[in-house]
Amino acid sequence: MVADVRGGGASFGSRTDPNPPVEILDAYDITEWIARQDWCSGKIGMYGISYGGSAQFTAAAGKPPHLLAVFPEMAMFDIYPFCYSGGIFRKQTMQKWSQSTNGLDRNLSRQVAPVDGDRQGQWLKAAIQEHSGNPNIFKESLAQPFRDGYMQVSKGQHYITHSPCSHLEQINQSGVGIYLRAGWWDMYPRDMLIWYVNLKTPRKIVIGPWNHYSSEGFSRGAEMRRWYDYWLKGIDNGIMKEPPIRYYTLSAPKGKQWRTSYTWPPKSSVYQKYYFHAGPSGSVRSVNDGLLNRKNPAVTEGDDSYIVDYTTTSGTATRWLFVKPNYPDMQGNDRKGLTYTTAPLENAIEVTGHPVVHLWITSSEDDGDFFAYLEEVDKYGVSQYISEGMLRASHRKLHPAPFNNLGLPYHRSFQEDIEKLPSDPVELVFDLLPISKVFIAGNRIRITITCADKDNAHTPMVIPAPTVRLYRNASVPSHVQLPIAQTQDH
């Protein structure tokens, strides 16, 4: 069965925001109504992608007695970093999301079916009229750049109280079996892994080489059936006896791409520091063409100067834009930034987990945005996008996370946490999106640093462009920590 949410589709009412808590009660009522029908066994499961994934967590939070199993795919954990990654507004993402929801609310595609008996569509017309009270997601999020900000439309601290993760305690009390599906090229691989480690209900996760809507090479329907056979029919098919984590390693040898683990990150992954050094690497004509290796920087090493280039971009078909990602050869972007590249790898290296960047910087301005890209460079110089992370310098203050954050840096981004840049070097610490990837022998690993991504994030332009310095000596050693797998066959 499919139900239109309150304020959406053919349903009456309006929505205060994308995740209104009233949907917990609505999901409870709908689930229990289904359970009372004479054609229902009383054992109910749910599935869905994106908002349909988040809606399953919402439903589980209400603890309806007859909801036994869910299969959320590509679902959000925390709404603030979706709107403001590292404090940087995802303008294009929010515009597209807002336009899409507005179109659905107003039935611009004319695809909403009227309810039975509404032959003339009058009830549908009246319902859509009530949707006019729904908020503009773009305007609401743009107006509130801090996690603890008050939103008038939801009458509270929306990012804190209306995020899917704000219902974590109730979800864990539900006992619902939860099977998560995530994708390395989706916008939510980090969210889904954070969900996994914070859930205390019976759970599993599969992570594949997928974007927001793809599932190539995975028998999605068959796996759902196994899940529901166990939870809804009581068939002991062994699904809960398998390792709970199954993940795909990109560029691994054929037949060895799929791996399993009982922990995340896998115990085989150990952080190793790769430091930024002076070049040249001879692999790219970037602003500095620096080196990346495990050698500790010397006391006498210096810094790299960079005039911010606001034309830098990771492309117009990225994981953030609800399309199939199609990243360009990143060397075009690399030439406009600071790059740090290894020598050709003597042996293959597997990175599985969450890379973390440590940047020591100063700027001629008192704030700035910093983007870090992890890339693989082949023998022809073509640079492939692998992962990314970003942080606005004024949001750099670290706090303990209010949930299991896998030990990754957590930027609370309350208004009181905002700190302008001083004249002395400061450290920016932020994680890149998780990945499992074999960097092939003979290829290179590259970290590229820029201060804008014009097609995917909103960075205020300053004229003249600021000058940034990135430091790389023994006392202020800029570097990346890579989670290197120690035991897998490459």
Q: How many CB atoms lie within 10 A of CB 263?
A: 12
Claim: this prediction has a pTM higher than 0.75: yes
363: left (phi over 0), alpha (psi -120 to 50) or beta: beta
Whole-number Å distance between alpha carbons of 227 and 238: 10
The pair of structure tokens assigned to 455 is: 């097609």
In this predicted structure, what is the pLDDT of residue 489?
59
CB atoms within 10 A of CB 324: 12
> Do residues 474 and 261 lie in contact, with contact meaning Cβ atoms separated by under 8 Å?
no
> Beta strands 177-183 and 203-208: pairing type?
parallel
φ/ψ region of 325 (left if φ > 0, alpha if ψ in -120 to 50, else beta) reads beta
Distance, in Å, from the CA atom of 459 to the CA atom of 368, rounded to the nearest integer, reads: 8
Residue 456, pLDDT score: 97
Domains (range + CATH), the chain? 22-261 (3.40.50), 269-485 (2.60.120.260)
Each residue's pLDDT, cut to its tens digit, for the chain (490 residues) gives 999 999 999 999 998 887 888 999 999 999 999 999 999 999 999 999 999 999 999 999 999 999 999 999 999 999 999 999 999 999 999 999 999 888 888 888 888 888 889 988 899 999 999 998 898 889 989 999 999 998 877 778 989 999 999 999 999 999 999 999 999 999 999 999 999 999 999 999 999 999 999 999 999 999 999 999 999 999 999 999 999 999 999 999 999 999 999 999 999 999 999 999 999 999 999 999 999 999 999 999 999 999 999 999 999 999 999 889 999 999 999 999 999 999 999 999 999 999 999 999 999 999 999 999 999 999 999 999 999 999 999 999 999 999 999 999 999 999 999 999 999 999 999 999 999 999 999 999 999 999 999 999 999 999 999 999 999 999 999 999 999 998 755 5
pLDDT of 391 reads: 98
CB atoms within 10 A of CB 415: 11
- pLDDT value for 193: 98
**Crossing angle of helices 22-36/51-61, nearest 10°?**
80
Write down how long the chain is.
490
Identify the helix (H) or strand (E) that includes residue 52.
helix 51-61
Nearest alpha-carbon partner for 50 in 82, 26, 27, 24: 82
Provide the pLDDT for residue 490. 55
Chain position carrying tokens 């709970």:
244
The pLDDT, as a whole number, for residue 488 is 58
Do 401 and 327 meet the contact criterion of CB atoms below 8 Å apart?
Answer: no
Residues 6+ apart with CB under 8 A from 488: 249, 252, 256, 259, 268, 350, 352
Task: Decide if 249 contacts 224 (C-beta within 8 A).
Answer: no
Six token digits for residue 72: 């959320």
| CA 269 – CA 51 distance, rounded (Å) | 32
pLDDT at 457: 97
State how far the Cα of 88 lies from the Cα of 137, in Å rounded to an integer.
Answer: 16
Cα Dmax for the chain: 80
Q: What pLDDT score was predicted for residue 150? A: 87
